[in-house]
Structure 1
Amino acid sequence: MSAAKSKQATKSTKSTPKKAVIIGAGPGGLAAGMLLSAQQYEVHVYEKQPFLGGRTSRMELGEYAFDLGPTFLMMPHLLEELFTLAGRQLEDYVKWLPLDPLYTLKFGEMSFSPTLDREEMVDLIEDLFPGNGKGYLSFMKNEGKKYDRVEKLLQQPFTSITDYVNLNVFKALPRLHAWDTVYQRLSSYFSDERLIHAFTFQAKYLGMSPWECPGTFTILSYLEHRYGLMHPIGGVNQICKAMASVIEENGGTVHLAEGVKQVKVTNGKATGLILESGEETEADHVVINADFGTAMTQLFAPGVIRKYTPEKLEQKKWSCSTFMLYLGVNREIEMNHHTILFSSDYKKNVDEIVRTQTLSDDPSIYVHNPSRLDPTLAPKGKSSLYVLMPCPNLDGNIDWEQQKEAVREQVLNRLEQEPELRNLRQDIEVEKMLTPLDWQQDIFVYKGATFNMAHTLDQMMYLRPRNQFEEVENCWLVGGGTHPGSGLPTIMESAKISTDLIQKQDQRKSRFLGVSG
């Protein structure tokens, strides 16, 4: 064959696919892997744990199953769009049940169970909180307008300061309420403190106090009341299982129990990984889905990271943590799917969590009772009960090894005050406890801050660690530690943003965000 013909034949052969390695099989990493594998990238996901999901994993205790972290799916249309971008249908992988009422909120002896039916909701509010029905309708109208503006900001990257100078930002600014707080915004709609708390507690999803959380995040409670909450059959962890399946169907590989020791960096560029086994792998792109603080302190050689050194990370603001009990109970528990037991002094409780960072004598407690609707999670006639108490992260001066049993007793004492949970202790068959220290040591969550870096004004959008990681080229961030932030819907958006930027850099036509390279 002539040299010309040989050259022509070489050109006609299929080019070698770009290789992307992903650190962490949490929802952000798996979403990125699913999108990239659908675009013919060679994808390898490396997960330190022997199971999928990170904080969104499945825990099994004997015959009982639990979600480790997130317990509901919000805005399922975003997840459906993600699967559509990957050439799949979500319904082929995950089934879910809508929840109505959304949850039950307990204020002492009073119970409030919000519904998606607006007329019924107004009647309910007027019955329990007279004179506040109109405030609810105003809330839904005004916050809807705000979300329509903010949504675009959650879908675009902020890789440089010039990203602020665009039409989306200018449209959103008048409605962001960024210099208000969530509590102040809700106080403009409602007069009853209990009702205000019913629409502000969602700031806890960001690990923040509603008295400090920027007013922008009133959209969290709005989104619940607009789109509702869903329970995936088998738990939220099934979303991670589904995305891993798509990666493998596309020829990618998810490596479980294969931790990463270090990101290889040459001349300021990420070139691959060094695994804990000592094996090295080369790559065109490195995507970090590991917990951000943990990644910065453990995954780079000394001197590579300058902006996020251990000393500088100490100066960042971090979310609160959670004390967890996972209980397999030998009886059916007749509680709603989600129940929140509010402290009698909610503001004091929140201040103790985020300001003084001390343990509360009267904590608020969240109870998840999914097996009432989902028989796959517990044997017939039994219940899988998930209990969460927000608490300080490891910046608090709390000796968790010494205090954990006392906190467990405090939580169980409070639970047993509820009629449905009386004598709970005697029916517990299996149990697991997680403290903030366990979150750090076993789940590799920096400071045990289960909701990642806080969403203060100085840690949002361009001021948050960027999707196109500013410290190292060919390195990308996904997950709660980057833009747009923590929470499953925004974590999924981070994956779309980062994979779009990867394709743009590779000068490939992108199906994400309408951007072409």
Structure 2
Amino acid sequence: MTSKRTAAVIGAGPGGLAAAMLLAGGGYDVSVFEKQPYIGGRTSRLEFDGFKFDRGATFLMMPELLEELFDAVGRSLHDYVDLKELDPLYQLRFGELKLEATRNRDLMKERIEHLFPGNGEGYTRFMQEEKVKFDRISPLLKRPISKLTDYIRTDVIKAIPKLNAMDTVYGRLSKYYSDERLKFAFTFQAKYLGMSPWECPGTFSILSYLEHEYGLFHPVGGVNAVCEAMVKVIQELGGSVHLSCGVDQVLTRHGKTTGVLLESGEKVESDHVVINADFATAVNHLFEPGQLKKYTPERVAAKKYSCSTYMLYLGVEGSVNLPHHTVIFSDDYKKNVDEITKQGVLSKDPSIYVHNPSALDTSMAPEGKSGLYVLMPVPNLQGETDWPAQQQQIREDVIRRLEQEPEMKNLSSRIVSEQMITPQDWQDRFHVYRGATFNLSHSLDQMMHLRPHNRFEELDHCWLVGGGTHPGSGLPTIWESARISVKLLMDQDKKEGVHVSPRYAAVQEVPLWK
């Protein structure tokens, strides 16, 4: 007998929307509840004075995964989103030296050899060896690892010799390159996890490999266009997305979730609850005090968290002669990273990332103007900075540093509109614990089985998606977390004798992982 099953999704971030889309396609009655008046969470869109900015992530990696998610519910990603591949991937600046990265291997090797003589062969080895590692690791990112016995499966045993887990990202790249700047060009991606390449497990050297192998893409309208596409599909499949509709509490009975209590006071019953809120914020605030035993406030506070980010969104007059992505490295990059991740202080010589989407996508700014997204990695709120008192001075320091680049000379005189986000804002306005923009750290003691599980350990019929669960932070892995959790949810219903008739047959006919 076919049964009607309901799911309440807390948070309209990329993980929550992907889970809701798959569940709606699978025949579940899905309701997404989002506290903010917009979708996307940290992947939302910021709009003001005719300018559009991605609030967080500024590019897509491995669009094949997104294509699979849309295919699973009978849709084509490309009917909803226009993707533009980036070439160069980004421009990296070390003083006056500029390296434009490309996934054209011959051209990339030529550029490396020209700028860093003798290192071209190292790039070839890097791409060859990291491919082997990624092929071994990839299966582990597509299934749950929620019990110790999951480690003795064949895919884990095959992957262990290639994990490089006892090395660091910097250590791995030192085996390929002799020039420090070139090492940095392939290790700065550890910042996507909010970590130092000198501390980030060597496993994650695959991040730079993935960029160079599969490319980077800009969705026209910004990365939030993918979230908008997911909302459209959810609605087409009968689901609903409720904005400005926060959840106050996850309702439970006898160790099992029964629905959610909205901030309005309304109770919504559901067979399953999927949590896409920031993990630490969720376990600290969405449950009755004392209800959780493993994730008490004290234990949550003792976990390790990523760095944060200081953000400027600048609307400027005229065009800016910068590529889509530019990374400006500090003169002493290791000192800069150590100050962020170990000392908890602001660097006098910071590294800064600049996103210039207007060069490729005219929809992102009014005619005759450009939007510059500026990101400076900074300590999270465990650091010593008094952000309300210091944020304006920090803003002046960042603008002054940008104006040292020839393309942004006299930038301050061209700014016509701007907004700012500090680590304090990430916590207070966007409910990110300690302002740790990249969520829980990816240290060895917080990975795989040791990361919060997709099937929430504390309660039955409760599921986690997003950067705070397996496989981790970053858009591709966040979407994988949704795929993993939805498969677990559907399997549990089957084991309980509940049959749900899918709205699109491929959701159940095609395995979400092997």
Same fold (TM over 0.5): yes
Whether the 8 Å CA contact 1:176–1:215 is kept in 2: the answer is: yes
* TM score, norm. by length of structure 1: 0.96
| Residue 32 of structure 1: how far off its partner (Å) | 0.1
1:228-262: CA deviations, max 9, x gaps? 10000000000000001110001100000000000
Correspondence 1:71 to 2:53 = no
Please state if 1:466 is matched with 2:448: no
Alpha-carbon shift at residue 96 of structure 1 (Å): 1.0
> Retained in 2: the 8 A contact 1:108–1:344?
yes
Q: 1:452 aligns with which of 396, 418, 439?
A: 439
Letter in 1 for 2:492: Q
Counterparts of 1:19 and 1:120 in 2: how far apart (Å)?
Answer: 52
In 1, Cα distance between equivalents of 2:366 and 2:83: 20
The aligned residue for residue 3 of structure 1 is none
> Are residues 513 and 396 of structure 1, via their aligned partners in 2, closer, same or farther at CA, if it must alter by over 3 Å?
farther
* DSSP-derived class of the 1:444 partner: coil
Within-5 A mapping of 1:65-464: 65-464=52-451
Q: Which amino acid aligns with 1:32?
A: A
Which structure exhibits the higher relative contact order, with contacts defined as CA atoms closer than 8 Å and separated by 6 or more residues?
A: 2
Deviation of 1:330 after TM superposition, in Å, equals 1.2
Q: Across the two proteins, how many residue pairs are aligned to each other?
A: 503
1:493 paired with 2:480, answer: yes
1:512 CA drift (Å): 5.7
Alignment check: 8 A CA contact 1:476 1:498 kept: yes
Q: CA deviation at 1:398?
A: 1.3
Distance in 2 of aligned mates of 1:210 and 1:384: 30
Deviation at 1:140, TM superposition (A): 0.0
Residue 425 of structure 2 aligns with an amino acid whose one-letter code is: D
Measure the CA separation in 1 of the matches of 2:21 and 2:72: 9
**Aligned partner (choices 45, 48, 56) of residue 43 of structure 2:** 56
**3-state DSSP of counterpart to 2:429:** helix
Shift of 1:513: 3.9
Amino acid of the residue matched to residue 13 of structure 2?
Answer: G
Conserved 8 A contact 1:273-1:282: yes
Query: How far does residue 161 in structure 1 lie from its aligned partner after superposition?
Result: 1.2
Secondary structure class of the residue paired with 1:270: strand
Q: Give the superposition deviation at 1:304.
A: 1.3
Q: Note the C-alpha offset of 1:99.
A: 0.5
| Alpha-carbon shift at residue 511 of structure 1 (Å) | 4.4
Q: Cα 1:512–1:348, aligned 2, differ >3 Å: closer, same or farther?
A: farther
Identity rate, percent? 61
CA distance in 2, matches of 1:393, 1:511: 44
Structure 2 portions without partners, runs of 5+ = 500-506
**Superposed displacement of residue 314, structure 1:** 1.2
| Equivalent residue number for residue 20 of structure 1 | 7
What SS does the corresponding residue of 1:483 show, helix, strand or coil? coil
Describe the superposition over 1:410-466 as per-residue Cα deviations: whole angstroms up to 9, x where unpaired: 100010011110111111111001000000011110100000000000000010000
| Distance change >3 Å, CA 337–CA 171, structure 1 → 2 | same
User: Distance in 2 between the 1:350 and 1:432 partners?
Assistant: 25
Q: Distance in 1 between matches of 2:103 and 2:463?
A: 38
One-letter identity of the residue aligned with 2:218: H
Which AA in structure 2 matches 1:93? Y
* Poorly superposed stretches of 4+, deviation over 6 Å: none
* Matched residue, 1:483: 470
CA distance in 1, matches of 2:303, 2:431: 18
Partner of residue 6, structure 1: none
> Would you say the 8 A contact 1:150–1:172 is kept in 2?
yes
Give, as a single letter, the amino acid of the residue that structure 2 aligns with 1:329: V
In the aligned structure 2, how far is the partner of 1:510 from the partner of 1:453? 32
- Aligned match of 2:503: none
The residue type equivalent to 1:49 in the other structure is: Q
1:136-155 Cα distance to aligned partner (Å, 9 max, x none): 00000000000000000000
Instruction: Please tell me whether Structure 1 or Structure 2 has the larger radius of gyration of its CA atoms.
Output: 1
Could you say what secondary structure the match of 1:406 adopts? helix
- Confirm or deny: 8 A CA contact 2:484 2:512 kept in the other structure: no
For the Cα contact (< 8 Å) 2:37–2:243, is it kept in 1? yes
Aligned amino acid, residue 47 of structure 2 = E
Correspondence for 2:502: none
CA distance in 1, matches of 2:286, 2:335: 38
Quick one: which amino acid aligns to residue 226 of structure 2?
I
Check the 8 A contact 2:487/2:512 in 1, yes or no: no
Write the distance in 2 (CA, Å) between the matches of 1:40 and 1:286. 16
Contact preservation (8 Å) 1:325, 1:388: yes
Flag the 1:58–1:217 CA change in 2: closer, same or farther, 3 A: same
Question: Does the 8 Å contact 2:258/2:270 carry over to 1?
Answer: yes
CA–CA separation in structure 2 for the residues paired with 1:24 and 1:336:
33
Aligned equivalents of 1:422 and 1:297: distance in 2? 46
2-structure distance, mates of 1:115, 1:74: 14
| CA RMSD after TM alignment | 1.1
- How far apart, in 1, do the equivalents of 2:172 and 2:402 lie? 32
Shift of 1:510: 3.6
Partners of 2:101 and 2:46 lie apart in 1 by 29
SS in structure 1 at match of 2:437: coil
Structure 2 residue matching 1:355: 3-state secondary structure: helix
Q: Which residue identity is paired with 2:283? A: M
* Paired residues of 1:500 and 1:512 also in contact (CA < 8 A): no
One-letter identity of the residue aligned with 2:400 = N
Structure 1 runs not aligned, ≥5 long: 1-10
Cα distance, 1:515 vs structure 2: 6.5
* 8 Å CA contact 1:504, 1:510 repeated in 2: no
Alpha-carbon distance, 1:176 to partner: 0.2
2:504 is matched with which residue?
none
CA contact (8 A) 2:91 2:325 kept: yes
CA distance in 2, matches of 1:510, 1:452: 31
